[in-house]
Amino acid sequence: MIQYIADAFTDKLFAGNPAAVLPCREMPAPQLMQSIAIENNYSETAFVVRRAPGDYDLKWFTPGGEVALCGHATLATSFVLHRYIDPDAQELHFHTLSGELIVRPGADGGYTMDFPVGAYKPVPVTEGILAATNGLAREAWYDGGDMMVLIGSEVELAALVPDYEAMGRVEGRGLIITAPSSRYDFVSRCFYPKLNVPEDPVTGSAHTYLTPLWAGRLGKKEMTAGQLSARGGELGVRLEGNRVFITGRAVLFMQGEIPFDL
């Protein structure tokens, strides 16, 4: 079978966030999906099964386990399907652990993903959060998903040296650190040591939390966002009610054959 590798949230190779995409005849056993994700060693491997034209089952695995929502691998999957398998689809519908997700290909080559807003609420800045952010944390939010922390500037964020051990002790699936920006409306870095993903290059799902937070702080519903990882990435985001629309591009790095059928 064919596996595709695509860089998401970028329009050039070797930037954005790489993801593996495997179009399968039927969903593999969880243990096999986990083994493939570990072998690939990307932050996400996506497994997608076609129900009907434009209608798919989709699962995401990190090297550390299955996740309920992944933005960049959904974007990469949409890019692969629209380019190689389902080129006439006006919408791609994905059935996932987070419910039905809809992705719409754009005329400009971008893809807009329709995601649910992430739940968050203010929490105290604890000693653990300060330790995980080199003492930079000013505010924090958490409600069972990712911990989200605000620091003072994008300069501080870009210079932050991660302490993955301290980050792994913070409550939540992962740690999102965000700051205001002069180039974008806001910037972030995202860390998932509990999932064996120390720093994720560009994280679509994090923007289901970041978008409503910054929409409220900036008084804007439509914004641009940058992720300040070594690879870097750019996203367009829009808040509409309880939905976040995330737009990005993707480019193909490679396609190769896995020596068995799925």
Looking at 32-109, which runs of residues are DSSP E strands?
A: 45-52, 55-62, 65-67, 92-96, 99-105
- Residue 137 φ then ψ, to 5°: -60, 135
Residues 126 and 232 occupy one common structural domain: yes
**Residue 262, domain member (yes or no):** no
Which strand (E) or helix (H) includes residue 66? strand 65-67
Residues 55 and 24 occupy one common structural domain: yes
> Angle at the Cα of 189 (from 188 to 191), degrees rounded to 5?
145
Residues 149 and 235 occupy one common structural domain: yes
Residues 237 and 251 occupy one common structural domain: no
**Residue 42, domain member (yes or no):** yes
Residues 97 and 126 occupy one common structural domain: no
Task: CATH number of the domain at 143, please.
Answer: 3.10.310.10
Which strand (E) or helix (H) includes residue 186? strand 186-192
Q: How many domains does the chain have?
A: 2
Q: Which residues does the annotation mark as catalytic?
A: 44
Residues 145 and 232 occupy one common structural domain: yes
pTM score, whole prediction = 0.93
pLDDT of residue 107: 80
Residues 196 and 104 occupy one common structural domain: no
**Residue 171, domain member (yes or no):** yes
Which strand (E) or helix (H) includes residue 103? strand 99-105
Where do we find the tokens 């799925």? 262
pLDDT digits (tens, 9 = 90+) for 63-109: 999 999 999 999 999 999 999 999 999 999 999 999 999 999 998 88
Q: What is the mean pLDDT of residues 52-71?
A: 96
260, pLDDT greater than 90: no
**Residue 215, domain member (yes or no):** yes
Q: Give the integer Cα–Cα distance in Å for 42 and 246.
A: 21
pLDDT of residue 138: 98
Looking at 167-257, which runs of residues are DSSP E strands?
A: 175-180, 186-192, 197-200, 222-227, 233-240, 243-248, 250-257
Residues 172 and 214 occupy one common structural domain: yes
SS3 222: strand
Residues 97 and 161 occupy one common structural domain: no
Residues 155 and 204 occupy one common structural domain: yes
Q: Give the integer Cα–Cα distance in Å for 44 and 72.
A: 8
Residues 232 and 126 occupy one common structural domain: yes
pLDDT digits (tens, 9 = 90+) for 141-187: 999 999 999 999 999 999 999 999 999 999 999 999 999 999 999 99
Which strand (E) or helix (H) includes residue 187? strand 186-192
pLDDT digits (tens, 9 = 90+) for 194-238: 999 999 999 999 999 999 999 999 999 999 999 999 999 999 999
Q: What is the mean pLDDT of residues 42-56?
A: 97
pLDDT of residue 27: 97
Q: Give the integer Cα–Cα distance in Å for 203 and 11.
A: 16
262, pLDDT greater than 80: no
Residue 228 structural domain: 122-241
Q: Give the integer Cα–Cα distance in Å for 1 and 23.
A: 8
pLDDT of residue 108: 86
